Structure 1
């Protein structure tokens, strides 16, 4: 890549930071070998500042599942009822009077094709609406109870259907604990943090652990109880520097054999509220080009974004990685839009 594109990245970054919604931000861009590296912060945010990963945590959960599969401890073809008590699962997925709770596979969760509803986003009493006004903890058992009160959207593995739901990854977190014989935080440490030497990435366990504040419009939200409860679907904390190390390892084969991506790159478009995002086996795909960018060279961004403004994407067509955070809970499209704009800055 032409290093003269750095000024274009800076222009895009500066324009984005001019948004009235954004109070702080960080963007870090590198190629695989680090021959090209560009980073800029705003509002006091720097490359080693703590940031909330939110749903980028799902990539860490995905990595653990793939590592455990490589170790022969589970298979994506295992039913989740092999790891989670049937009494716990009973009533979780009843669609058109038929129960599918015991017919769910690990792969259904990973690919977001279980059809399970999402308590975080759905209904007027969603946890997203509630957490804007107050901090509160919740247990996995409570999350299951709330999910059972909602209606699934389709039968598992319905052709052409995918629905983004946090509960899919919360269930995967429970499976990781069962199979690894540790807490999820210990599994992350053992399988990811130690091998990659990540010293400032962690899953908060209590209010004593540092949890970055979140912006909702102009309001500063301090929500440690809620973040500690999110766990496998959105509870981890990191820095831009260490998120770059992780995303390179995830797609570069340092954590698991990257040949597994041959089986993970079957993408389905998510619900309409998720915009242009499609989902594969544990990660997002955002297609570039098309009607929105008619002059853009075709390609894809692979990775994940978070509802609090975080993003970590790989642009394989140009061998570039984009990570960062705009820390704004009011508009989850912001990190997606910024990532796509940064990609258009590459020739």
Structure 2
């Protein structure tokens, strides 16, 4: 049930600005000392527009912190959606440890003919009997997603549910729906993965056929009871109102029929504390041999920056942003459970919002940063970003034509007081004009240092900024002393928040100083340019 909304990271990596403004140094800071900072992160997440309630738990160096905000409490059960797949993976790996199957086994060995017939017909070839258990875990089977992919009626089951049509379905109906959608590629195609809930529906049935027990019984006997997870269970009763209802945009979404139908691909209920206990057990060898973990880490992109491994996911932003790799799983409900190997940290929780599931990663990122920080509190909130874009420049009092160029940038924003913030940037910009006349054909390379005040509007979705930019000439296509070394301009910028990790910035830069020197004695040349950039944000 993971959503393809998380974010796209096709940007060029440059050196990030990772400094943050913090106060109150402490020699040895414990997690307990950061309670107010961690709680503030949750409190600030709840805006009663996008997010109405959150619950998270963190474990670091043996210490556990749990918090909640809005309409959720610490012990509040919630739907973990596709984070359920981590439980399914644990059971499969447990069966591997008992020599009851291998990851290379063909799935036809464990499924009946009705399930296998016509399961994977791709370009006229039947690959059904070529699919392995590993293919299902790693989403490399090529099977379509019965839930998110569009069916023969042109709509996905997901769209049907969110339009208010709650419904039941069986394993057989889910697989039959999948069979009516075209596969994406042949099983085990190199560097190919397609996220599909059908894969884990099939794994759930394989577990049941091998053990002769229901998926729910397997979860209870192999995971819930050994780990003493008293509030974690497979949702199977439409009258059960214990789990917090999910939100879809600003509406409560009640789909109990669907939630009883997901099973092994998305039907478990848990709390942040118990989900934290489970994810720690998963990565520390309490459910299956710890040596298996390395074998699971074979990554293929599914919806960047999330990659699929073998039964697990990797969330990894560009290293330039200084964020650690997270491995685990997340769900469409806004739930997640991840392990940070670098910092030996576990985190689990939910923002309980279907429409903005990437928000859970923003919250997790902030909680991790605050947890591993060696300082107690951050008095001035800030975030960093890297950007790539294009400029369309002209030179006032020159007879050339506007020229397109490249723009690369580092961005830092400090929240002074709502709704005003201060921004500082370092930008590489290509400027100039093109012309057949050698004198008027000007190519310029600058490092710009804009400082701006920004007004944040519409629930911080839009920012309007202006200030002063000092721009240093790196080089040009002219002789060394043709242009002034430093020029000044007034930038005007409008930023729009696409997701928690991605923004688009549109700006106009008006030159206010003459860049001409020796070769243009009678001309007052000023750089003017229009630019657009995508910003990859580190909260």
TM over 0.5: yes
For Structure 1 versus Structure 2, the TM-score category normalised by the shorter chain is over 0.9
Q: In the alignment, which residue of structure 1 is the partner of 2:295?
A: 263
Q: In the alignment, which residue of structure 1 is the partner of 2:368?
A: 343
Alignment partner of 1:310 is 2:339: no
Q: Deviations over 1:147-166 (max 9, x none)?
A: 11111111111111111111
Question: What is the CA-CA distance between 1:92 and the residue it aligns to?
Answer: 1.4
SS class of match (1:322): strand
Bigger share in strand: 2
Alignment partner of 1:101 is 2:128: yes
Question: What is the CA-CA distance between 1:134 and the residue it aligns to?
Answer: 2.0
Where do 4+ consecutive residues of structure 1 move more than 4 Å?
4-8
Query: Over alpha carbons, which structure has the higher Rg?
Result: 2
Larger mean CA deviation between 16-25 and 105-114 belongs to 16-25
Alignment partner of 1:20 is 2:52: no
SS class of match (1:342): helix
For the 8 Å contact 1:288–1:301, the answer to whether it is kept is: no
SS class of match (1:20): coil
Alignment partner of 1:57 is 2:84: yes
Alignment partner of 1:115 is 2:142: yes
SS class of match (1:55): helix
Long gaps (5+) in structure 1: none
Question: What is the CA-CA distance between 1:296 and the residue it aligns to?
Answer: 1.3
Larger mean CA deviation between 14-23 and 146-155 belongs to 14-23
Residue among 164, 167, 170 paired with 1:139: 170
SS class of match (1:13): helix
Q: Distance in 1 between the 2:234 and 2:206 partners?
A: 17
Q: Deviations over 1:159-179 (max 9, x none)?
A: 111111111111000000001
Q: In the alignment, which residue of structure 2 is the partner of 1:322?
A: 347
**TM-score, L = length of structure 2:** 0.60
Correspondences of 1:1-347 after superposition (within 5 Å): 2-3=29-30, 6-18=35-47, 20-31=49-60, 33-34=62-63, 37-123=64-150, 124-132=154-162, 133-210=164-241, 211-270=243-302, 274-290=303-319, 294-296=320-322, 299-345=324-370, 346-347=372-373
1:182 to 1:279, Cα distance in 2 relative to 1, 3 A: same
Q: Distance in 2 between the 1:47 and 1:312 partners?
A: 16
Question: What is the CA-CA distance between 1:11 and the residue it aligns to?
Answer: 4.2
Q: In the alignment, which residue of structure 1 is the partner of 2:409?
A: none
Question: What is the CA-CA distance between 1:222 and the residue it aligns to?
Answer: 1.5
For the 8 Å contact 1:83–1:178, the answer to whether it is kept is: yes
Long gaps (5+) in structure 2: 1-27, 374-539
Q: Deviations over 1:259-288 (max 9, x none)?
A: 001211111111xxx230011111110114
Bigger share in helix: 1
Q: Deviations over 1:30-83 (max 9, x none)?
A: 12523xx22221123122111101001001000000001111111111111001
Count how many residue pairs are aligned between Structure 1 and Structure 2. 338
For the 8 Å contact 2:76–2:244, the answer to whether it is kept is: no
Question: What is the CA-CA distance between 1:243 and the residue it aligns to?
Answer: 0.7
Q: Deviations over 1:91-117 (max 9, x none)?
A: 111111111111100000011111111
1:76 to 1:239, Cα distance in 2 relative to 1, 3 A: same
Question: What is the CA-CA distance between 1:198 and the residue it aligns to?
Answer: 1.1
Q: RMSD of the alignment, in Å?
A: 1.7
Q: Distance in 2 between the 1:13 and 1:120 partners?
A: 31
**TM-score, L = length of structure 1:** 0.92
SS class of match (2:57): strand
Q: Deviations over 1:219-250 (max 9, x none)?
A: 11211110000000000101111111111100
SS class of match (2:208): helix
SS class of match (2:199): helix
For the 8 Å contact 1:203–1:236, the answer to whether it is kept is: yes
Q: Distance in 1 between the 2:106 and 2:29 partners?
A: 48
Q: Distance in 2 between the 1:344 and 1:336 partners?
A: 12
Q: Distance in 1 between the 2:362 and 2:123 partners?
A: 37
Q: Distance in 2 between the 1:32 and 1:179 partners?
A: 38
Q: Distance in 2 between the 1:29 and 1:341 partners?
A: 12
SS class of match (1:304): strand
Q: Distance in 2 between the 1:18 and 1:121 partners?
A: 28
